[in-house]
Amino acid sequence: MANALSRALDSDLWYSFSRSPVTVVSAVVALVCIMGAVLAPWIAPHNPFDLASLNLMDAFNPPAWTEEGNASFLLGTDDQGRDVLSAIMYGARVSLIVGLSAVVFSTVVGVGLGLLAGYLGGTVDAVLMRVADIQLTFPSILVALLIDGIVRAALPPEAHEAIALYVVVFAIGVSNWPQFARTVRGSTLVERNKEYVLAARVIGLSKLRIMLTHVLPNVLGPVLVIATLNLGFAILAEATLSFLGVGVPPTQPSLGTLIRIGNDFLFSGEWWITLFPGIALVALVLSVNLLGDWLRDALNPRLR
């Protein structure tokens, strides 16, 4: 264990990490955001979903440091009297869950199909890549919107409400698989003809086994980079859908939902209801993107 740790500290990855102040700061910011979201039920000052504790008398409190601020609501309250800070922490939870699930979904689908296309070649490859090409022609936000719209039209409103969260995950996940599939396919084509894979074939290992035990580990590096960069994108996509009012249901507000709600009060001067969730969203996405950028450069110095 101590050995593994010292080896990790000596690695090039750690070196480039510790040498880049921006990356270290991003890691800290990302960690704070994630911890705040994960631990929200225990550390949030209020429970914004506990209707009993809401008091309309508390509505529209400005942030605590302003003149009319109330010390118990650090970042102020919204039109329902909900504590903005607590709402952000719970909202970040939803954003992160949706973002992570969507990335996992597109990674699994994309890597699986990419391996298949690259290893099997022929018709499978041609069909899969053609589908990926066509889908890539369209911006993923449009694909996600469309999937959401179709599900909405196909189901009665109550049924849609119940599965809305899954629909968003599916919509964002589907809109992103081609990127993974293309990268994995490319690497698989390279790996497939290497001698160790040929050797594995000669000793009679099954195709599935060769793909999983020999080819897969070699394509994980680029997949990790794409997944990190995609997490930032997925969180943004969810926020955009929710802002447009077609994302997560209003009963489980994400950061995007909070910004949309707050947007209605922008003109009447209650800027904090929309600004703070916005800052939280940007901090989360920016730090994740910076980490992804760093990871890409660190794993592939030539790309610099």
Partner 1 sequence: MPAFILSRLLQAIPVLLVVALISFAMFAYVGDPVAIMLGQDFTEAQRQALVASLGLDQPFFVQFFKFVVNAAQGEFGLSYRLSRPVAELIAERAPATLELAFVAAAIAMLVGVPMGVYTGLYRNSWLSRFFLTFSLIGVSLPTFLIGILLILVFSVLLGWLPSYGRGEVVQLGWWSTGLLTADGWRALILPAITLGLFQLTLIMRLVRAEMLEVLRTDYIKFARARGLPDRSVHFGHALKNTLVPVITIAGLQLGSIIAFAIVTETVFQWPGMGLLFIQSVGSADIPVMAAYLMLTALIFVVINLVVDILYYIVDPRLRAGRGGH
Comparing CB distances to partner 1, the nearer of 152 and 201 is 152
Comparing CB distances to partner 1, the nearer of 94 and 145 is 145
Comparing CB distances to partner 1, the nearer of 41 and 250 is 250
Comparing CB distances to partner 1, the nearer of 44 and 237 is 237
Contact residue for partner 1 among 108, 245, 250, 300 (CB under 8 A): 245
CA 49 to CA 164: how far, in whole Å? 18
- Can residue 278 be called a binding residue for partner 1 (CB under 8 A)? yes
Comparing CB distances to partner 1, the nearer of 197 and 232 is 232
CA 26 to CA 31: how far, in whole Å? 8
CA 86 to CA 61: how far, in whole Å? 14
Residue that has been written with the tokens 């504590």 in this structure: 83
Mask of contacts with partner 1, 192-221, x by CB under 8 A? ------------------------------
The long-range contacts involving 80-84, CB below 8 angstroms and separated by at least 24 positions, are 80/54, 80/56, 81/54, 81/55, 81/56, 81/57, 82/46, 82/48, 82/54, 83/44, 83/45, 83/46, 83/48, 84/258, 84/272, 84/273, 84/276, 84/277
CA 230 to CA 133: how far, in whole Å? 18
Kindly state the smallest distance separating residue 190's Cβ from partner 1, in Å.
Answer: 20
Kindly state the smallest distance separating residue 99's Cβ from partner 1, in Å.
Answer: 13
| Binding-site ranges for partner 1 (CB under 8 A) | 134, 137-139, 141-142, 145-146, 148-150, 152-154, 232, 236, 239-240, 243-246, 256, 259, 263, 266-267, 269, 271, 274-275, 278, 281-282, 285-286, 289-290, 293, 304
